[in-house]
Structure 1
Amino acid sequence: MSDHEHLVSLVRRMIPPLSPKLHKGQAGRIGVLGGSGDYSGAPFFAAMGAMRFGADLAHVICEPAAGAVIKTYAPDLIVHTSLDGSLPNASVIAQTELASLMERLHVLVIGPGLGRSAFMQSCARTALQLAKERDIGLVVDADGLWLLNSEPGLIRDWPGAKRVVLTPNIMEFRRLCEATGVHSDSCADLARALGGVTVLQKGGVDAISDGSPTSLGGDTLTVSVQGGLKRVGGQGDILSGTTAALLAWGREWARGAYAHVGHAPGGEEEDKVVSEHVALLAAYGASAFNRTVSRTGWERKKRSMVTHDLLDIVGEVYEDMFGQYQEAEGKGKL
């Protein structure tokens, strides 16, 4: 078995089987904080990416102008238009709404379509603090990373850093390095500078690290799965959503939430490895998966490929990569 196959097998262990013993919401409640007046597509792709991948519920928390548009995209999403900077006491209203919503989430994605206005950035700051207090898994991308450029202390030395994944592209990675005083292009160095959060550095080959040596192989995992030859806006948002779904599943699996419905066959040693490296494995699985989705979409659509084409094949690629669903009582093929 190759290193890649082994890592994918560990990722598969975190995925809950489909079972009548699980009620709606147990297999992933994902929130996406983003969606400003100019950007309505990004939070949609992140939230729908999570749902197409297999999460049960997805909430989008956004500005009213973005929410009105997102609601026309898909009735499957729960859209909260409570981030209205034009209202009196807008920050207080946003904090109240966010605090209430956080009680329902396994993982929060901050950044897709967030924008850089002072109000939306302040909402992201509030959401970060609430997620920290409530032990919610966190994925930060796009303009959520812009906030961390100016305030890296918001994420540094985070209690339970193993539940945080950052997904910077090349330019976002460079800016984070400058903000934290990292003078290298090492994913592990940046992760260490930020206190042990997991960094998924997107590039020609994706690099993933939480800054510590692991039993998975050194201090950095690399994903060289071939992707597509066309880059379209929205691919990174689908990555954020699928990372969130895997992070939600992994954290719930580690807590024993799926023990009563069984999971992939394996031993105690593998269980220990998975529980210690949930965020790393979620990032690895999502990276390999999304590169495969990109390649599949490119092979079919070539230059005409758009992000909706990728969203449409998420379920198909999931079945090919992670196998058929596991039925209740541990029966069926994985």
Structure 2
Amino acid sequence: MASKQHNHLISLVKQMIPPLSPKLHKGQAGRIGVLGGSGDYSGAPYFASMGAMRFGADLAHVICEPTAGAVIKTYSPDLIVHAILDYKKSDEDIKKELKGIMSRLHVLIIGPGLGRDDHMQNCARIAFGLAKDMDQMGVVVDADGLWLVQSEPKLVMDWPGVPRIVLTPNIMEFKRLCEAMKIDTKAEPRTLCPQLARALQNVTIIQKGEHDIVSNGMQIPAELIEGQGISSEEVLENEIQGGLKRVGGQGDILSGSTGVLMAWGSEWVKGTYTDVGHPPPDSKAIAENVPLLAAYGASTFNRTVSKRGFEKKGRSMVTGDLVDLVGPVYEEVFGKAREDDGAGSKL
């Protein structure tokens, strides 16, 4: 049975989710980009972007290398594929095209299928620089995006305002990040995530494991800790049971759902959804912790979809099975979509 604290956090996450309304136009409920897709890896950006679409994003853009782009376009006509990360192009040309695409996004997911060759890593480096200069753009970093961050931690540091970055490392990626930041990995396990978050200037981290640990290295506001007037906690621990089989693309679905929740949360805070009867938060603490809530909500969703996929498919479960379950599990975790009483929709 879920704890009172877990239910409280999910109730806060639900507040960020916009209702389905004819008063909203296409794009207001999430424009997500995925930067990755090298010649060897076309599946990961597909799972991240399609996971985001199935979760509820209006639009998903894949920004990739041309060979990967030709393949990804055959997977689904729902995805907008920009095969601009061409080895033949100059950095300046790639930067110019990237800037045009990123200016249309709420959140950019960096890393799925990126690969580690110099060209693709440099494209990610350019994207980090552009995102840092874009007001309120959220960033989710996974896979080989984390490989770049461990080599160049400054890419996620010194961002203006409240940090709007979520890292989603698995066990080995987390260990390498800790070593890069000279954090003793033999310390008490529950202390490692906040230590790493602080070392990276309070980015939000989902430390994936038997239980997911979420932290931005700061004291959790009391508003997020049900029943406590004063909070001394630095982590949110997610003990929701996951599946017993790990599949390679499961983390990509986590990245996609994290990105959508960050997009919804940022627009909620800005008041985008006020016209559909969805006022922004009345608590500054909640408004400033959208990445933390998005990370916890996505962790809950991802663990649940993994469990349901394993229950249905057992050892034969693959990531495509999880994509098919995104809709039903979304409703299980967050409830059916709220609707207003209007008719029609704006395009």
Deviation at 1:329? 5.9
Asked whether the 8 Å contact 2:32–2:52 carries over to 1, the reply is: yes
Paired amino acid for 2:215 = S
Secondary structure, in 3 states, of the residue corresponding to 1:300?
helix
Asked whether the 8 Å contact 1:156–1:193 carries over to 2, the reply is: no
Aligned counterpart, 1:183: 184
Secondary structure, in 3 states, of the residue corresponding to 1:116?
coil
Structure 1 distance, partners of 2:95, 2:72, is 22
Structure 1 distance, partners of 2:150, 2:45, is 21
Aligned counterpart, 1:113: 113
Which aligned pairs between 1:55-70 and structure 2 lie closer than 5 A? 55-70=57-72
Q: Which stretch has the larger CA shift, 320-329 or 63-72?
A: 320-329
Which aligned pairs between 1:1-334 and structure 2 lie closer than 5 A? 2-85=4-87, 87=88, 89-135=89-135, 136-184=137-185, 185=189, 186-215=192-221, 216-217=224-225, 218-263=233-278, 268=282, 271-328=283-340
What do the CA deviations read for 1:228-253 (whole angstroms, capped 9, x no partner)?
00111100000000000000000110
Asked whether the 8 Å contact 2:207–2:213 carries over to 1, the reply is: yes
Secondary structure, in 3 states, of the residue corresponding to 2:62?
strand
What do the CA deviations read for 1:43-73 (whole angstroms, capped 9, x no partner)?
0000001110000000000001111110000
Paired amino acid for 2:315 = R
What do the CA deviations read for 1:140-180 (whole angstroms, capped 9, x no partner)?
00000000111111112322343110000111011111111
Paired amino acid for 2:210 = G
Paired amino acid for 1:197 = V
Q: For the aligned residues, what is the CA RMSD?
A: 1.5
What do the CA deviations read for 1:279-319 (whole angstroms, capped 9, x no partner)?
00000000000000000000010011110000001011111
Paired amino acid for 1:288 = T
May I ask how many residue pairs the two structures share in their alignment?
A: 325
Please, what TM-score do these two structures have when normalized by structure 2? 0.91
Structure 1 distance, partners of 2:284, 2:37, is 38
Secondary structure, in 3 states, of the residue corresponding to 2:108?
strand
What do the CA deviations read for 1:168-224 (whole angstroms, capped 9, x no partner)?
011101111111112244100000000010011101110000000022241100111
Deviation at 1:92? 2.1
Structure 1 segments of 4+ aligned residues over 3 angstroms from their partners: none
Structure 1 distance, partners of 2:151, 2:162, is 19
Structure 1 distance, partners of 2:320, 2:237, is 27
Structure 2 distance, partners of 1:167, 1:128, is 16
Paired amino acid for 1:8 = I
Structure 2 distance, partners of 1:227, 1:200, is 15
Asked whether the 8 Å contact 1:162–1:278 carries over to 2, the reply is: no
Q: Which stretch has the larger CA shift, 67-76 or 153-162?
A: 153-162
Please, what TM-score do these two structures have when normalized by structure 1? 0.94
Deviation at 1:273? 4.0
Structure 2 distance, partners of 1:303, 1:274, is 40
Segments of structure 2 that go 5 or more residues without pairing to the other structure are: 226-232, 343-347
Structure 2 distance, partners of 1:321, 1:145, is 28
Aligned counterpart, 2:230: none
Asked whether the 8 Å contact 2:269–2:281 carries over to 1, the reply is: no
Deviation at 1:83? 0.5
Secondary structure, in 3 states, of the residue corresponding to 2:265?
helix
Structure 2 distance, partners of 1:267, 1:277, is 11
Q: Percent identity?
A: 65
Structure 1 distance, partners of 2:278, 2:38, is 39
Structure 1 distance, partners of 2:160, 2:92, is 25
Deviation at 1:267? 8.0
